């Protein structure tokens, strides 16, 4: 995937790849690799890739994205039935099928909508095409069910995602990616935007893995695969409100919220798995409710850093995101989405106001909530930000690199960078903060569920100036910002998280993502891991591991000894069960590590 190319909507890629002959499909991955190594030049809305000295592929994206097959042209003799057009579409980022609305659209006549966060999960849904509206006459309404088209689209998404899991990222070339994009387009047409967005996020992560993108993370792709599989699995059987949530919505509903007095907390860069980038600024009102102002569009890390210095698109304010994170905002006629995002319609008025330090009212109330209570709130599905006061104690060495070790009211906490992209200063800032051992700071972090306390560090008080703050994804610390004589201690060895028994199941779940079925079929010859899990009392995990290996090794042969097609559905369901179990157990372990009560513990005992 090349960030130099304009994004291409899924239907275009699927159509171009689907039109190739079987012979050309076999050569598609090699053609994509070749195009990614060729120079691309941009002239306005047009990008040209030089295939060789005489031939070039042109992508025309007047609206920021390629939305039709005729917008990709090639100058070779075989065009338009050549391989180059499909290769160019497969090498480009994936765009949203539906164009984003103008952020300044009018909201004075009612609640405004905005495009849902790319790849995000919508809390409020709209009905898709053909959705029943209930029986006429005022009788008792039957629970709403998915339409026939929606059920078929969900099964198509499941089968396409299962095929990607079957092959693994090593084998999921452009053809399998195009099939999943075709399934995503079908889901969107059937009124399932959430399934479509989840499928697109898988394709983007697979392309990042195959091109060695520095931002690729195996856990992110595994989570994306699990999300699209469980979504497509549940949709055909869901009813009522559960179905509405699973459908999702293309546009985010906004509701009037009157006048707001907001105080900036911090800004963070945004880099999504679907190829979007920008910045988001978090604010709070006097009651501690959180609101966000974001500027997200197709792009990479350079757009994320640049968006911080763009003007906030609310009312007539001239504040940038970086300035708003330290100032305040007075908003009248505000519109707010269910997840706290501020609308930017024509009826919204906003002016700059004074900000406050983190230790002053009203922001100080965010840090007054006990850490365990904040973790319980995050694990219940609410916003996952943590407002903590910690003492930096050193660094700890992990497989992915060193991270900060801090004490949070007696809880040993690991703090990692939110982004690993070298264009962002997250890692460099963490290295410098490691030299500020002993400093007691207020921080903002994002919870990472796991068997030990861990979070992604987003912002912190300045090491030598408590009245200042540092946005670790946008601001760059200098050695002069550290206390005098600060020296980074050696990193301690990491030895607790990966030794947890659950790791025996988790590593098999993760191994299947890059290697596919064949890796687990070979790894399932010995019963050692399952036996160890049983000895440690994790009988359910052992059973899931046995079933996963059995599904991977299940290949039947015909009467001539030839292998029959594999049952991708059974393997995908076995893998999904193991992934969901692992996630549930890790969340429980996370709650106990922080001293937070789980939902079962918090519920009153039944008589």
| H/E element, 265 | strand 255-271
pLDDT confidence tier of residue 442, bands split at 50, 70 and 90: very high
**Span 408-430, mean pLDDT?**
89
User: Are 430 and 473 found together in one domain?
Assistant: yes
**Span 366-394, mean pLDDT?**
92
DSSP string spanning 312-359?
P-STT---BHHHHTTSEEEEEEEEE-TTSBBP--TT-EEEEE----TT
User: Are 241 and 261 found together in one domain?
Assistant: no
pLDDT confidence tier of residue 598, bands split at 50, 70 and 90: low
Q: Are 405 and 412 in contact (CB under 8 A)?
A: yes
Q: Are 219 and 510 in contact (CB under 8 A)?
A: yes
**Per-residue pLDDT tens over the stretch 299-357:** 778 888 888 889 888 877 888 999 999 999 999 988 888 888 888 777 888 889 999 99
Quick one: what percent of the chain has pLDDT higher than 90?
45
Cα–Cα distance, 447 to 384 (Å, whole number): 6
| Three-state secondary structure call for residue 112 | coil
User: Which sign does the torsion angle of CA 535, 540, 544, 546 carry?
Assistant: positive
- The residue out of 86, 112, 138 marking a domain boundary is 86
Answer yes or no: is 103 within a domain.
no
Cis peptide before 80 (omega within 30 of 0): yes
Q: Which two tokens stand for residue 549?
A: 């290996």
Rg (alpha carbons) of the chain, rounded to whole number: 25
Q: Are 402 and 395 in contact (CB under 8 A)?
A: yes
Give backbone dihedrals phi and psi of 27, rounded to 5 degrees, phi first: -100, 0
List the beta bridge partners of residue 412. Answer: 407
**Span 88-114, mean pLDDT?**
53
Q: Are 488 and 435 in contact (CB under 8 A)?
A: yes
pLDDT confidence tier of residue 486, bands split at 50, 70 and 90: low
Answer yes or no: is 361 within a domain.
no
User: Are 176 and 223 found together in one domain?
Assistant: yes
Answer yes or no: is 493 within a domain.
no
In angstroms, the first-to-last Cα distance of the chain is: 58
- The residue out of 481, 510, 535 marking a domain boundary is 481
Answer yes or no: is 572 within a domain.
yes
User: Are 406 and 379 found together in one domain?
Assistant: yes
Residue 59's CB is within 10 A of a number of other CB atoms, namely 25
Q: Are 64 and 52 in contact (CB under 8 A)?
A: no
pLDDT at 103 over 50: no
pLDDT at 503 over 70: yes
Q: How many domains does the chain fold into?
A: 5
Could you tell me the pTM of the whole model?
Answer: 0.80
| H/E element, 83 | helix 83-91
Residue 149's CB is within 10 A of a number of other CB atoms, namely 17
Cα–Cα distance, 336 to 255 (Å, whole number): 5
pLDDT confidence tier of residue 28, bands split at 50, 70 and 90: very high
**Per-residue pLDDT tens over the stretch 300-312:** 788 888 888 898 8
Cα–Cα distance, 205 to 199 (Å, whole number): 10
Q: Which domain holds residue 320?
A: 251-353
User: Are 323 and 393 found together in one domain?
Assistant: no
pLDDT confidence tier of residue 485, bands split at 50, 70 and 90: low
- The residue out of 230, 247, 264 marking a domain boundary is 247
**Span 108-136, mean pLDDT?**
36
Counting every residue, how long is the chain? 607
**Residue of 176 and 394 predicted with greater confidence:** 176
Q: What is the pLDDT of residue 452?
A: 85
Q: Are 193 and 248 in contact (CB under 8 A)?
A: yes
Q: Are 570 and 233 in contact (CB under 8 A)?
A: no
Q: Which residues contact 408 (CB under 8 A, 6 or more apart)?
A: 371, 388, 389, 390, 453
Interhelix angle 174-189/193-210, rounded to 10 degrees, is: 160
Answer yes or no: is 98 within a domain.
no
Mean pLDDT over each residue of the chain, to the nearest integer: 83
User: Are 256 and 243 found together in one domain?
Assistant: no
Answer yes or no: is 531 within a domain.
yes
User: Are 373 and 470 found together in one domain?
Assistant: yes
User: Are 153 and 221 found together in one domain?
Assistant: yes
User: Are 375 and 474 found together in one domain?
Assistant: yes
Cα–Cα distance, 153 to 147 (Å, whole number): 10
| Three-state secondary structure call for residue 67 | coil
Answer yes or no: is 240 within a domain.
yes
**Residue of 136 and 74 predicted with greater confidence:** 74
Tell the residue number behind the tokens 């042209």, with chain if given: 73
User: Are 79 and 174 found together in one domain?
Assistant: no
User: Are 229 and 268 found together in one domain?
Assistant: no
Answer yes or no: is 381 within a domain.
yes
Residue 509's CB is within 10 A of a number of other CB atoms, namely 25
User: Are 376 and 476 found together in one domain?
Assistant: yes
Maximum mean pLDDT: which of 118-127, 321-330, 558-567: 321-330
DSSP string spanning 32-72?
HHHHHTS-EEEETTEEEEESSSS-EEEEE-TTSSB-SGGGE
**Residue of 301 and 497 predicted with greater confidence:** 301
């Amino acid at each position: 995937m090349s960030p130099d190319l304009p994004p291409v909507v899924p239907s275009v890629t699927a159509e171009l790849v689907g039109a190739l002959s079987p012979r050309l499909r076999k050569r598609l991955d090699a053609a994509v690799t070749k195009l990614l190594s060729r120079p691309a030049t941009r002239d306005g809305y047009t990008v040209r890739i030089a295939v060789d000295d005489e031939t070039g592929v042109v992508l025309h994206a007047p609206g920021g994205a390629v939305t039709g097959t005729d917008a990709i042209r090639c100058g070779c003799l075989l065009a338009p039935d050549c391989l180059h057009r499909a290769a160019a579409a497969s090498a480009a980022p994936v765009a949203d099928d539906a164009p984003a609305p103008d952020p300044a659209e009018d909201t004075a006549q009612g609640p405004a909508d905005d495009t849902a966060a790319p790849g995000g999960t919508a809390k409020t849904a709209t009905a898709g095409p053909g959705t029943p509206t209930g029986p006429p006459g005022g009788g008792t309404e039957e629970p709403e069910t998915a339409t026939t088209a929606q059920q078929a689209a969900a099964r198509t998404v499941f089968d396409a995602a299962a095929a990607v899991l079957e092959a693994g990222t090593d084998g999921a070339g452009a053809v399998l990616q195009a099939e999943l994009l075709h399934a995503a387009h079908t889901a969107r047409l059937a009124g399932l935007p959430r399934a479509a967005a989840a499928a697109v996020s898988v394709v983007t992560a697979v392309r990042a893995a195959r091109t060695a993108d520095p931002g690729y993370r195996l856990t992110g792709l595994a989570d994306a695969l699990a999300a699209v599989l469980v979504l497509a699995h549940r949709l055909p059987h869901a009813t009522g409100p559960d179905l509405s949530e699973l459908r999702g919505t293309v546009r985010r509903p906004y509701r009037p919220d009157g006048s707001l007095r907001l105080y900036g907390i911090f800004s963070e860069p945004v880099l999504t798995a679907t190829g979007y980038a920008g910045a988001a600024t978090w604010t709070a009102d006097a009651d501690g409710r959180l609101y966000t102002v974001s500027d997200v569009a197709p792009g990479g890390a350079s757009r994320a850093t640049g968006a911080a210095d763009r003007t906030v698109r609310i009312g007539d304010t001239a504040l940038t995101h970086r300035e708003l994170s330290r100032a305040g905002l007075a908003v009248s006629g505000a519109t707010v989405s269910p997840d706290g995002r501020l609308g930017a319609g024509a009826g919204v008025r906003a002016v700059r106001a004074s900000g406050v330090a983190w230790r002053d009212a009203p922001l100080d109330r965010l840090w007054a909530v006990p850490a365990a209570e904040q973790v319980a709130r995050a694990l219940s599905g609410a916003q996952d930000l943590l407002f903590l006061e910690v003492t930096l104690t050193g660094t700890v060495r992990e497989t992915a690199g060193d991270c900060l070790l801090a004490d949070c009211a007696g809880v040993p906490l690991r703090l990692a960078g939110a982004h690993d992209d070298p264009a962002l200063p997250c890692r460099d800032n963490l290295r410098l903060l490691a030299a500020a051992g002993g400093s007691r700071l207020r921080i903002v972090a994002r919870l990472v569920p796991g068997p030990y306390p861990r979070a992604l560090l987003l912002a912190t008080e300045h090491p030598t100036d408590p009245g200042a703050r540092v946005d670790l994804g946008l601001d760059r610390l200098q050695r002069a910002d550290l206390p005098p004589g600060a020296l980074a201690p050696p990193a301690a060895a990491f030895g607790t998280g990966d030794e947890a028994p659950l790791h025996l199941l988790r590593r098999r779940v993760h191994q299947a993502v890059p290697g596919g079925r064949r890796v687990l079929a070979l790894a399932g010859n010995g019963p050692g891991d399952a036996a160890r899990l049983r000895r440690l009392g994790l009988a359910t995990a052992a059973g899931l591991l046995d079933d996963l290996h059995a599904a991977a090794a299940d290949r039947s042969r015909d009467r001539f000894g030839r292998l029959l097609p594999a049952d991708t559905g059974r393997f995908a369901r076995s893998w999904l069960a193991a992934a969901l179990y692992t996630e549930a157990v890790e969340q429980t372990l996370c709650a106990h590590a922080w001293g937070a009560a789980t939902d079962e513990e918090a519920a009153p005992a039944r008589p």
